[in-house]
Amino acid sequence: MTEEDLEEYVVLTHGDLGTGEKISNLQQSCCLEGEFEDVPKSNRLTQAIFIPGLFHMQMAGAEAVWRGHIEPTKPTKSGGASHRQSLFVLCAILRPKEVLKLSSKNPGFRLQHTLINHVLAASILLCWKKEVNAWYNCAGLEEWMARKPSDKEFEEVSEQILDKHVAPHALLHAMTTEAMRSGDIGRVEELLMIWVNIWKGTQKHKYASHVTQFLLDLNETWDPCLAHAIQMNWLVIPLDGHTHSEAWIGHIIKQSPLIEFYSDTHKLIESDFHLLNRTMRHPPKVMTKTLGQLQGYMEAEEMLTVKRRRKLHKGMAVKDCVRRGG
Note the pLDDT tens digit of each residue in 101-136. 888 888 889 999 999 999 999 999 899 998 999 888
215, 189 Cβ separation under 8 angstroms: yes
- pLDDT value for 192: 94
- pLDDT value for 238: 44
- pLDDT value for 239: 47
Question: Over the stretch 42-58, which tens digit does the pLDDT of each residue have?
Answer: 677 778 889 998 889 99
How many Cβ atoms sit within 10 Å of the Cβ of residue 89? 18
- pLDDT > 50? residue 201: yes
- Going from the C-alpha of 203 to that of each of 16, 104, 107, 141, 260, the distances in angstroms are 18, 18, 18, 41, 43
Confidence of residue 160 (pLDDT cuts 50, 70, 90): confident
- pLDDT value for 320: 67
302, 102 Cβ separation under 8 angstroms: no
- pLDDT value for 274: 66
- What is the mean pLDDT of the segment spanning 303-320? 71
- pLDDT value for 77: 66
- pLDDT value for 7: 62
Q: Could you give the CA distance from residue 5 to residue 186 in angstroms, rounded to a whole number? A: 30
Domain ranges, ordered by start, for the chain: 3-52, 56-221+287-325, 243-282
Higher pLDDT pick, 162 / 219: 219
316, 86 Cβ separation under 8 angstroms: yes
Higher pLDDT pick, 320 / 95: 95
Question: Over the stretch 207-255, which tens digit does the pLDDT of each residue have?
Answer: 999 999 999 999 999 999 999 989 888 876 544 444 444 555 566 566 6
Task: Please choose, from the candidates 67, 83, 65, 17, the residue with its C-alpha nearest in 3D space to the C-alpha of residue 313.
Answer: 83
- pLDDT value for 176: 92
- What is the mean pLDDT of the segment spanning 174-203? 90
